[in-house]
Structure 1
């Protein structure tokens, strides 16, 4: 079963339309189900999604004004349970541990969220997490995004290197090698000159590090200047889900493939498949209980 995961369109407030190259890919007859992570912001576009596939499920985003949209969903694709949230309920936004806690509360194998406008797919605690990003590349107030752990690690590494360079320069300044036959006064002059040179070297190192750090920071900001338009397709085959992420980068659509496999024993899998065959509803069924819609 092919499932389109899409969200954070923000039409017409932050974007006027889907990218034309995405529209050429999203044609009727190929996709069986659509899951929207919220912030469609336009009823007409909800109708457009229904022209791609009749089975559409969505949750309410923080900018959706339709009170009838649910805040969370659980869709059953035996043996998989798929949870859906917009993502503004996750604090801090996009935090992996908070996402894991939400998935545990909902008792789902796969958790689909949006809100950050950045594609992510990762496995944690045996569960699979997918954020399709923003299909329109809509602006988000948290951009440019940076991983706090990475920033802290880079800062710590830079500080350690600066300390090491300073210690090395001090050692050279404190232990000058006196030349044979040189008078004590000349040695003092040489030592003073060495210290001055070491001091200049330290200043030069610090200036270079500051410049280099500024260049890195500027480069990171440039790379994450705006969200990249993206959506995801989930190819669900029993306990295996192959995720295809489509991203519009420099005018070209790039596709990446990621696979998730739920660990289930053969007996349990047979029972779940039998239950799926006896189900009255076609496709996925939804339910909502508790804070996130968990059972």
Structure 2
């Protein structure tokens, strides 16, 4: 079993002057072993601060310096995870994301850019594909601020969604 903190679109310090303490508290409390950031950190210092909690895998968002890769693929507990920001696409819709997951040959595609939480599992082209956007913990768009802590065990993903200004809820 592996616990992973997942977040995106922190936009510190370009659009916000803080990172919620709840992120660090929950990542430490839940003993996350890895943190995935799906882009728009907007400052390398965000990665450095998060690395005080656990190793960080980050991709480049449209407002990041070109020091992070455009996409990454990780294998955790035999589950292949693709990570992108999403700004690469003219239309960031589920059809485009499902094809990207197929192209990357991943089971889960984690993305950001919309600043809104999204999770759905699809049967697509004979394959089961999960799409996950953790939302933004600092500058949400038409939604609550969110981040995710996931647990991967036996090729299954379960997660809690945390809302820095509200209570948490669990999926599934």
The TM-score normalised by the length of structure 2 is 0.89
More strand per residue: 1 or 2?
Answer: 2
CA contact (8 A) 2:118 2:133 kept: yes
Q: Give the counterpart of 1:236 among 122, 142, 152.
A: 152
Report whether the alignment pairs 1:49 with 2:12.
Answer: no
CA contact (8 A) 1:28 1:51 kept: no
Counterpart-to-counterpart distance in 2, 1:108 and 1:132: 17
Counterpart-to-counterpart distance in 1, 2:112 and 2:39: 7
| Structure 2: unaligned runs, 5 residues or longer | none
Residue 32 of structure 1 is matched in structure 2 by 33
Offset, 1:91: 3.2
1:106-148 deviation line (CA, Å, top 9, x unaligned): 110000000000001110121111100012125xxxx5xxxxx
Counterpart-to-counterpart distance in 2, 1:242 and 1:29: 13
Counterpart-to-counterpart distance in 1, 2:67 and 2:46: 16
Is the partner of 2:11 in helix, strand or coil?
coil
Is the partner of 2:159 in helix, strand or coil?
strand
CA contact (8 A) 1:137 1:230 kept: no
Matches within 5 A, 1:66-81: 67-81=66-80
Counterpart-to-counterpart distance in 2, 1:62 and 1:28: 31
Is the partner of 2:47 in helix, strand or coil?
helix
Matches within 5 A, 1:240-255: 240-248=156-164, 251-252=165-166, 254-255=167-168
Counterpart-to-counterpart distance in 1, 2:24 and 2:75: 28
Higher relative contact order (CA 8 A, sep 6+): 2
Offset, 1:38: 0.7
1:238-286 deviation line (CA, Å, top 9, x unaligned): 21110211123xx32x222224xxxxxxxxxxxxxxxxxxxxxxxxxxx
Counterpart-to-counterpart distance in 2, 1:19 and 1:49: 12
CA contact (8 A) 1:29 1:52 kept: no
State the structure with more CA Rg: 1
Equivalent residue pairs, number? 167
